[in-house]
């Protein structure tokens, strides 16, 4: 009897759906909209901190009204500056988004995407009050997926564990409590590297090849912290008796 092998590209449907929406938005902006229409599109759906500053924004200054005050916390994540920006985010979304989607399921995955995207926008707003430069890109949500993944990926039997179990079972191992996870040397090393890279973005010492726009690194941090802290609210896997041996449950848009 022949053992059936896993497909090479086993990407969850929810991840594919997010990528397809991002690609369709980019293609529409590139080939269907005029320059003026694209500017109107960005003003309506990108995240712009000035929209929330009463000393700058006046009625009618930005399209969308009060509705855009809400939806731009989410819609900006589906817009990308160019093909390189879209490609880089897709490359990072595939592994981390897929790991979380396999664990959460489609509905929780989409909700988590929305929450971490909104958290990234909120962090950018808090650090750039009154800024008129639009923020676009899915990196805040992807950062949230990275944070969520490290909550379970290193656990015994998890995707990055030496004692990994079956393929699907590896994504459903009980996660360690946050206080326990933050004592794991591997997770600490990941956090140090991740925050270090984003600090370099903030200092202007690091750039993404092929992407000329400024990187909204504060949004990355907002999404990451939301993913790390709010993971337990979305996680459908109940911790049982043992988790690692312990008992417990400008003019150019900024891209990221």
Q: What is the pLDDT of residues 193-252, one digit of tens each?
A: 888 887 876 665 444 544 456 677 889 999 999 999 999 999 998 754 444 444 444 445
What share of the chain has pLDDT > 70, as a percent?
79
Rounded CA gap, 4 and 60, in Å? 60
What pTM, to 2 d.p., does this model score? 0.84
18 pLDDT higher than 90: yes
- How confident is the model at residue 180, as a pLDDT? 87
- What pLDDT, in 10s, does the model give residues 110-137? 999 999 999 999 999 999 988 889 999 9
Q: Which tokens hold the place of 146?
A: 């990275």
Sequence-distant (≥ 6) Cβ neighbours of residue 73 within 8 angstroms: 47, 117, 118, 121, 122
- How confident is the model at residue 3, as a pLDDT? 45
- How confident is the model at residue 216, as a pLDDT? 79
Instruction: Decide yes or no: CATH 1.10.3720.10 for domain 13-255.
Output: no
Burial profile 226-256: b = 16 or more Cβ within 10 angstroms, e = fewer: bbbebbeebbeeebeeebeeeeeeeeebbbb
Rounded CA gap, 175 and 2, in Å? 34
- What pLDDT, in 10s, does the model give residues 134-151? 999 999 999 999 999 999
Q: What is the CA radius of gyration of the chain?
A: 19
Query: Do you know the residue count of the chain?
Result: 256
Going by pLDDT thresholds of 50, 70 and 90, the confidence category of residue 55 is: confident
Going by pLDDT thresholds of 50, 70 and 90, the confidence category of residue 254 is: low
């Amino acid at each position: 009897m022949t053992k059936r092998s896993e497909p090479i590209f086993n990407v969850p449907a929810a991840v594919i759906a997010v990528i397809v929406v991002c690609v369709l938005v980019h293609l529409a902006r590139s080939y269907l909209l005029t320059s003026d229409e694209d500017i109107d599109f960005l003003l309506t759906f990108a995240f712009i901190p000035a929209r929330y500053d009463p000393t700058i924004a006046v009625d009618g200054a930005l399209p969308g009204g009060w509705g855009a005050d809400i939806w731009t916390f989410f819609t900006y994540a589906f817009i990308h500056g160019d093909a390189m920006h879209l490609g880089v985010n897709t490359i990072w979304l595939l592994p981390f988004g897929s790991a979380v989607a396999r664990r959460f399921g489609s509905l929780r995955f989409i909700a988590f995407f929305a929450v971490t995207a909104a958290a990234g926008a909120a962090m950018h707003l808090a650090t750039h009050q009154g800024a008129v430069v639009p923020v676009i890109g899915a990196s805040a949500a992807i950062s949230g997926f990275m944070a969520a993944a490290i909550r379970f990926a290193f656990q015994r039997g998890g995707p990055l564990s030496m004692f990994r179990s079956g393929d699907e079972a590896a994504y459903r191992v009980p996660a360690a409590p946050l206080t326990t996870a933050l004592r794991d040397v591997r997770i600490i090393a990941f956090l140090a590297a991740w925050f270090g890279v984003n600090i370099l973005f903030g200092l202007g010492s690091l750039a993404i090849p092929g992407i000329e726009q400024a990187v909204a690194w504060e949004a990355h941090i907002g999404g990451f912290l939301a993913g790390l802290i709010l993971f337990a609210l979305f996680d459908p896997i109940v911790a049982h008796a043992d988790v690692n041996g312990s008992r417990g449950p400008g003019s150019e848009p900024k891209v990221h």
